[in-house]
Amino acid sequence: MKEKMGMVKVLDMQRSSRRLGWLMMLAGLPLATMAHGGSHQYGPYPASYAEECGSCHVPYPPQRMTAAGWETQMRTLKQHYGTDASVEAAANQAITAYLLANASPKDKSAPADPTARMTKTRWFVKEHGATPPKGLSFSNCTGCHTQAEKGDFDERTLKTPTGWRHGD
C-alpha cells in the first residue's frame, strides 16, 4: 500500500512538472507566435519590418499569409504594386526571415493570385468580404482597424463605417 501511494506521488509530480514545463515554454513564445490561437494581436513588430514596410502601409501580420506568399512579396519589391519598394540586402534578409518564421501554414492564407496580395487570400475574403467599405480600400487597414499600426487587429479596436456590412 505504501509503495502504491509513493508511486502515485511520483506520477503526480511528473504531471505537475510537465505542466509547468509547458507553461514555461508558452510564456517564452513571442507574442506574434501566440496570435495563432485566435487573438488578433500581432505586434509589436521588429523595428526593421515596421520601419521599412510601415513607411508606405500598415505592416501586415505575417501570420495572415503563407511563406510562399511572403517570398513572392519580398522577391518582387522592385515592382511592388507600381512602386519600387526595394530595401537594402541586410534589411531584406532580416524582414524575409521574420516573415517566413511567422508565416501561416494554413492553405486559407495562401495568396489566390500571382501577385500574392493578402487581400486575395481565402481567409481575407471570408473575413472581410469581396468589396471594401465605400471610400476605403482593403489596403488601408487603419480605415477600420484603429490600432492596426501597432499590430492590434482585435475587434474591440474595430470601427467599421456606418451602414457597412460584411461583403457589401
Cis check: omega of the bond before 114, within 30 degrees of 0: no
* Alpha carbon distance 4, 36 (integer Å): 42
Q: At what angle do helices 89-101 and 67-75 cross, to 10 degrees?
A: 170
Region 53-80 average pLDDT: 94
Phi, psi (rounded to 5 degrees) for 145: -90, 95
* Alpha carbon distance 161, 16 (integer Å): 49
List pLDDT tens digits, range 71-103: 999 999 999 989 999 999 999 999 999 999 999
* Alpha carbon distance 146, 154 (integer Å): 9
- pLDDT for 136 equals 87
Phi-psi region of 116 (alpha: psi -120 to 50; beta: other; left: phi over 0): left
- How much of the chain is in helix, strand and coil states, percent to nearest 5? 55, 5, 40
Band (167; pLDDT cuts 50, 70, 90): low
Which residues have a Cβ under 8 Å from the Cβ of 93 and sit 6 or more positions away? Answer: none
Which cell goes with 121? 487570400
Listed in sequence order, the DSSP H helices in 2-121 are 2-28, 31-34, 47-54, 67-75, 89-101
What is the pTM (predicted TM-score) of this model?
Answer: 0.71
